[in-house]
Amino acid sequence: MRSLPFPPLLSASDLPRSAMLFETDDLEHARQEVSRIYRPYRFTAAPRRAMPATMFNLGGDGVALSWFAYGTEIAIRPEVLGHFVLVLTTLAGHSDIRSGNVAHAGGQGSTVLVASNEQSTFRYSEDNVQMGVRIDARRIAELWRRLSGREPPHALPSCTLLDARSRERWLASVQTLRLLLHPDTPPALRAMQLPLAEELLIMNLIGERLDDTGTATVAPACVKRAVAFIDAHAGQPLTLSEIAAAAHCSVRTLQRAFHQWRDIGTMRYLKDVRLQRVRTALQEADASASITEIATRWGFVHLGQFAADYRKAFGERPSDTRAKRHASA
């Protein structure tokens, strides 16, 4: 019986063994374990088995990522999700997902949002592999209020992500979150980056549903408040919505304001501030921390990209900055 086949984007080597919840030929045992992550369900399955039922799970604060396969043709009818939404992406095989007014059958890459308040049924082929992203409905509602300044709908309706670019953005945000949730990620780095990664993932899901706030006139005061907040809290895991809240405006208003008054985005300004803090630390005569430690402390996850951004900003490598400190000592 063959093992769970992960596509290149989500290869088995990228998922830690500690994230595996089960690998079993007993579908009743699989049902009990899956129900703990999602909701209890009823199922009917074909007798033929292609591989063991398997599930991996990586949990964040308000978002959890799962990969699962049943290894047989199966039909599932879960209870209504209730306090979370579920985004399902077919990684291998075929799926037939029905939820509310949505009925979608597809192969690799097909992605469906399952609403928190609608009855659903799932059918998977024996070679099917699914990725599930479970998102706390309260986090969605909170971010909706921050983005728009308005109350969110009672629940996001079920829908399919048909646009290829939307799916690409969605998978990219999932990939970023998956890397942060890996056990090898330094805890300090995870604490700084996880709130932003989860927020960006949710924004990718709800961004197009938000109506334009209609704010045509941009007040520079909100930019000044945002800049002051960023300068004072750059070492903390800031999210775009937190900065907007400190600036007393919606996220969209703040983004317009930054582009109009500073010709850059809000998060770009935050990155520039953090780069400058790294440079200052490298120039300090008594600095004993390594370049990697300093960069990580200020939230830079990918050190190769950090080095490129640093060189673009200051015209030299981080090691050059540190070497100048030694030369002048």
Q: Which two tokens mark 328?
A: 């002048």
pLDDT score for 41: 96
> In 10 A of CB 108, how many CB atoms?
14
pLDDT tens-place values along the chain, 329 residues long: 344 444 444 444 478 889 999 999 999 999 999 999 999 999 999 988 888 999 999 999 999 999 999 999 999 999 999 999 999 999 999 999 999 888 888 889 899 999 999 999 999 999 999 999 999 998 998 888 887 767 777 788 899 888 888 888 899 999 999 999 999 899 988 998 999 999 999 998 887 676 444 443 444 788 889 988 998 999 998 999 999 999 988 898 898 888 877 668 899 889 989 998 898 888 876 667 899 999 998 989 888 999 999 988 888 899 988 887 655 55
Angstrom distance (rounded) from CA 52 to CA 136? 29
Class of the CATH domain delimited by 8-181: mainly beta
CA angle 141, 82, 61 (to 5 degrees): 55
Taking only the tens place, the pLDDT of each residue in 275-289 is 988 988 888 766 678
CATH superfamily of 210-328: Homeodomain-like (1.10.10.60)
Q: Which two tokens mark 150?
A: 């308005």
Q: How far is CA 162 from CA 13, 155, 170, 285, in A?
A: 29, 20, 12, 55
pLDDT score for 321: 86
Report the SS3 class of residue 265.
coil
Taking only the tens place, the pLDDT of each residue in 46-68 is 988 888 999 999 999 999 999 99
Contact 105, 94 (CB under 8 A): yes
**8-181 and 210-328 share one fold:** no
160 strand-pairing partners: 112
Residue with tokens 């800049």: 227
pLDDT score for 283: 82
Report the SS3 class of residue 190.
helix
Query: Half-sphere exposure (CA, 13 Å, Cβ side) for 193?
Result: 23
pLDDT score for 287: 65
Taking only the tens place, the pLDDT of each residue in 201-258 is 999 888 767 644 444 344 478 888 998 899 899 999 899 999 999 998 889 889 888 8
pLDDT score for 4: 46
pTM above 0.85, yes or no: no
Domain boundaries, the chain: 8-181, 210-328
Q: Which two tokens mark 261?
A: 């008054």
